Amino acid sequence: MNENKTQGQQLLDKLNFKLKNAWEKTEEVEKAKAFEFCQEYKTFLHKAKTDREFEAEVEKLAKQNGFISMEQIRKSNKKLVPGMKVYHINRKKSAVLGVIGKAPIREGVNIIGAHIDSPRIDMKQNPIYEDTGMVLLKTHYYGGIKKYQWVTIPLSIHGVIVKADGSSINVVIGEDETDPVFTITDLLPHLAADQMQKKMSEGITGEGLNLLFGSIPYNDEKIKDKVKLNILNLLHEKYGVLEEDFISAELEIVPSFKAKDVGFDKSLVGAYGQDDRVCSYTALKALLDMDNISKTAVCILTDKEEIGSVGNTGAESTLLENFIASLCYLGNETYNEMMTRECLANSKMLSADVNPGVDPNYEGVQDKRNASYLGKGLVIQKYTGVRGKVGGSDANAEFIGELRKILNDNGIIWQPAELGKVDQGGGGTIAQYVANLGVDVIDCGVAILSMHSPFEITSKIDIYICYKAYKAFWENQQ
Ligand code: MN
Ligand code: MN
């Protein structure tokens, strides 16, 4: 073909950087694999709508794939040897998994980290009240949501109630076809003159996000809040809980619809919670495929990213450090603190998170030359932060160079991007917390539309590419 091109065209091919459409550059057989991969992904999303459910799936898959819990290894006084697979679940909300490589641990490990929490609506600790013959539940939203997106849609309740005797009950209502669902109501347009004049951020208020929960009164004239009593009675019959038990409950309200194919060509996935389950799922799948690697591969899946990676289950906790220390301690005859420090200083990490793709409906919020696009492969984001990169993580050029080489050598289609236009907004990921430990970190993941909404959109080809990229990172990073 080259001989038909002018000298200028040939020079352009050689020198110019151009984004590739991954559908065009992928062979039919690989495209079929992408569709197949996403079929499983959609099923997984339905099983793992909350952090706790995701962790339960992690534990199940880890055991099925020959991973042994860190606690078990410690108790048995065994030493870690290359090829062994270990996992640690932290308070049922975050997890770390590792596949032991042949290289000495001091030389560092290769980490992929993602978060498994998503924006949602949490139930308050004293939620149940009756008003105008209906029972509603008070809520407090979790993470950055646009409140107006969460009214008038079917919602499910997922979570756990810990009773006074210490026993706990898992709750999932709204997912089975025969289950009821819940909803937050909105005002009819006919009476919304005042509401419609308000700013979008104020049209629906935080204290207005009350969940409709029931309306049949208990049959007793002497009782005041009859509907509430009837609901309490039903809850007691079904779960054996008292109103006080809600104080020690974590009940999360999430969209009840299932993950779906989107588009006439079925090229996209629409689902709740793809930020960041699209990256945590692909990272987990890639790790389960790891075998016979030189550097130890570590996958960390944390909670609380959407509220700042805080607490003892978030990325800012000692979870990763402790896991690395355990790898050093259990993998060597003698142990000292410096092993952990050295290992961290020599480690590399992909902070696996989504990036907002350019949306043709909302032009102008991104710099199109430095933004991501659905269907154009793995998004590499050098830095995060807001107004002058403040509070972000900024990867070193040398590390980006290494990553570029791995991706190019393995035929993985990628695109560079930042979150949005300078001074338009911004955000962070878990990257900075791990970078603080001395690890080289870069953000990379999948482009997404309608991020943080009840129905987020991703491209199937990007999801599959992301999985292949994470695999290549673990297999090829020296
Ligand atoms: Mn995220
Ligand atoms: Mn997010």
Closest ligand relative to 353 C-alpha? 1
Nearest in space to 300 (alpha carbons), one of 44, 478, 9, 55: 55
Cα(413) to ligand 1 centroid in Å equals 21
Closest ligand relative to 143 C-alpha? 2
Cα(301) to ligand 2 centroid in Å equals 14
What is residue 32's DSSP assignment? H
d(CA 474, CA 97): 13
Cα(268) to ligand 2 centroid in Å equals 19
Cα(159) to ligand 2 centroid in Å equals 20
Cα(222) to ligand 1 centroid in Å equals 51
Cα(437) to ligand 1 centroid in Å equals 20
12 pLDDT tier (thresholds 50, 70, 90): very high
Is the sign of the CA dihedral 341, 347, 353, 357 positive or negative?
positive
Place of tokens 């999985």: 467
d(CA 269, CA 249): 32
Q: Is the pLDDT of residue 89 over 70?
A: yes
Closest ligand relative to 355 C-alpha? 1
The stretch 72-97 carries a mean pLDDT of 96
Cα(354) to ligand 1 centroid in Å equals 6
Cα(273) to ligand 1 centroid in Å equals 9
215: region left, alpha or beta (phi > 0 left; psi from -120 to 50 alpha):
alpha
2 pLDDT tier (thresholds 50, 70, 90): low
The stretch 122-145 carries a mean pLDDT of 98
Cα(410) to ligand 1 centroid in Å equals 26
pLDDT at 426 (0 to 100): 85
Cα(216) to ligand 1 centroid in Å equals 40
- Please, are residues 305 and 429 in contact by the beta-carbon 8 Å criterion? yes
d(CA 211, CA 386): 34
Closest ligand relative to 113 C-alpha? 1
pLDDT at 152 (0 to 100): 98
Q: Is the pLDDT of residue 27 over 80?
A: yes
| pLDDT tens, position by position, 295-312 | 999 999 999 999 999 999
d(CA 214, CA 33): 45
371 pLDDT tier (thresholds 50, 70, 90): very high
Cα(429) to ligand 2 centroid in Å equals 8
d(CA 105, CA 295): 8
Closest ligand relative to 384 C-alpha? 1
Render the burial of 231-254: b for 16+ CB within 10 Å, e for the rest: bbeebeeeeebeeebbeebbbbbb
pLDDT at 428 (0 to 100): 86
d(CA 468, CA 477): 14
Q: Is the pLDDT of residue 1 over 70?
A: no
| pLDDT tens, position by position, 448-459 | 999 999 999 999
Cα(176) to ligand 1 centroid in Å equals 28
Beta strands 268-271; 385-386: pairing state: unpaired
d(CA 158, CA 166): 19
pLDDT at 109 (0 to 100): 98
pLDDT at 391 (0 to 100): 87
pLDDT at 478 (0 to 100): 62
Closest ligand relative to 429 C-alpha? 1
Could you say which of 3.40.50.880, 3.30.420.40, 3.20.20.70, 3.40.630.10 is the CATH number of the domain covering 18-118+272-476? 3.40.630.10
Percent of all residues in the chain with a pLDDT value above 70, rounded to a whole number: 99
β partners of residue 444? 352, 380
Nearest in space to 280 (alpha carbons), one of 97, 414, 418, 420: 97
- Which two structure tokens, joined as six digits, stand for 104? 């000495």
Closest ligand relative to 280 C-alpha? 1
427 pLDDT tier (thresholds 50, 70, 90): confident
d(CA 203, CA 274): 26
pLDDT at 184 (0 to 100): 98
- The angle at the Cα of 271, spanning 42 to 422, to the nearest 5 degrees, equals 125
CATH 3.40.30.160 for the 120-255 domain, yes or no: no
| Domain ranges within the chain, ordered by starting residue | 18-118+272-476, 120-255
d(CA 90, CA 318): 11
Ion ligand 1: protein residues whose beta carbon lies under 5 Å: 275-276, 353
The stretch 361-365 carries a mean pLDDT of 94
Number of helices (H) and strands (E) in the chain: give both, helices first: 13, 22
